[in-house]
Amino acid sequence: MRLHDLDMLLRDTRDAAAQAALKKMGFKVSGVEQLEQARAELVAQVDRRWILLYDRVFKRYGRAVAPVKDRVCLGCFATLPTSALPPPADSDAVSVCQSCSRILYWIG
Amino acid sequence: MGTNALLDPSLYIPDLAVDERDAALRGMVERLHTHGTVRDPAAVLRLLIQREALGSTAIGKGVAVPHARSLAVASAHLVFARSPRGIDWAAPDGEPVRLVFLLLAPDTAPWHKRYLDLLAELVSVVRLARNRNRLLEAGSFEPLASVLRDLS
Mean residue pLDDT of chain A comes to 90
State the CB neighbour count (10 A cutoff) for residue A49.
9
Residue A32 and residue A68 share a domain: no
Provide the pLDDT for residue A39: 94
Query: B72 contacts in A (CB within 8 Å)?
Result: 1, 5
- Structural domain total, chain A: 2
Does A72 lie in the same domain as A36? no
Q: Which domain holds residue A96?
A: 63-108
pLDDT in tens, A50-88: 999 999 999 999 999 999 989 999 999 999 999 888 888
Of A1, A18, A29, the CB nearest to B116: A18
| List of chain B residues whose C-beta atoms are within 8 Å of the C-beta of residue A105 | 71
Question: Same structural domain for residues A67 and A41?
Answer: no
Shared-domain flag, residues A31 and A69: no
A3 and A39 housed in the same domain: yes
Model pLDDT, residue A54: 95
A51 domain residue, yes or no? no
Q: Which pLDDT score is estimated for B131?
A: 92
- Please indicate, yes or no, if residue A56 is contained in any of the structural domains: no
The ipTM value here is 0.85
Same domain, A69 and A31: no
Residues A36 and A69 in one domain: no
Residues 15-74 of A with CB under 8 A from B: 18, 21-22, 24-32, 34-35, 38, 63, 65, 67, 74
pLDDT number for residue B32: 94
Whether B33 is catalytic: no
Q: Is residue A81 part of a domain?
A: yes
More confident residue, A93 or A83: A83
Regions of chain B with pLDDT less than 70: 1-4, 150-152
Average pLDDT for residues A84-93, to the nearest whole number? 79
Reported as type and span, the H/E element at residue B122 is: helix B111-126
The confidence score (pLDDT) of residue B150 equals: 64
Both A1 and A38 in one domain: the answer is: yes
Q: Are residues A67 and A102 in the same domain?
A: yes
Rounded to two decimals, the pTM is: 0.90
Q: What torsion, rounded to 10 degrees, do the Cα atoms B64, B120, A27, B109 define?
A: 100
- Give residue B83's pLDDT: 94
Minimum-distance CB partner of B71 among A1, A28, A34: A1
CA angle A70, A60, A68 (to 5 degrees): 10
Q: Among residues A53, A85, A18, A2, which one has the least CA distance to residue B39?
A: A2
- Residue A58 inside a domain? The answer is no
Q: What is the pLDDT, as a whole number, of residue B7?
A: 84
Q: What is the DSSP letter of B85?
A: E
Report if residue A53 sits inside a domain: no
**Looking at the structure, do residues A98 and A67 belong to the same domain, yes or no?**
yes
Whether residues A35 and A68 share a domain: the answer is no
- Whether B71 sits inside 8 A of A65 (CB atoms) is yes
Task: With respect to residue A55, please indicate whether it lies within any of the assigned structural domains.
Answer: no
Evaluate whether residue A32 is within a structural domain: yes
Examine residue A57 and state whether it is found in any structural domain, yes or no: no
Contact B55 A29 (CB under 8 A): yes
Q: How far apart are the C-alpha atoms of B138 and B9, rounded to whole Å? A: 13
Orientation angle between helical segments B111-126 and B129-137, nearest 10 degrees: 90
**How many residues are there in chain B?**
152
- Measured at the CA of B69, the angle between CA B67 and CA B72, to 5 degrees, comes to 120
- The nearest CA of chain B is from the CA of A30 a distance in Å of 5
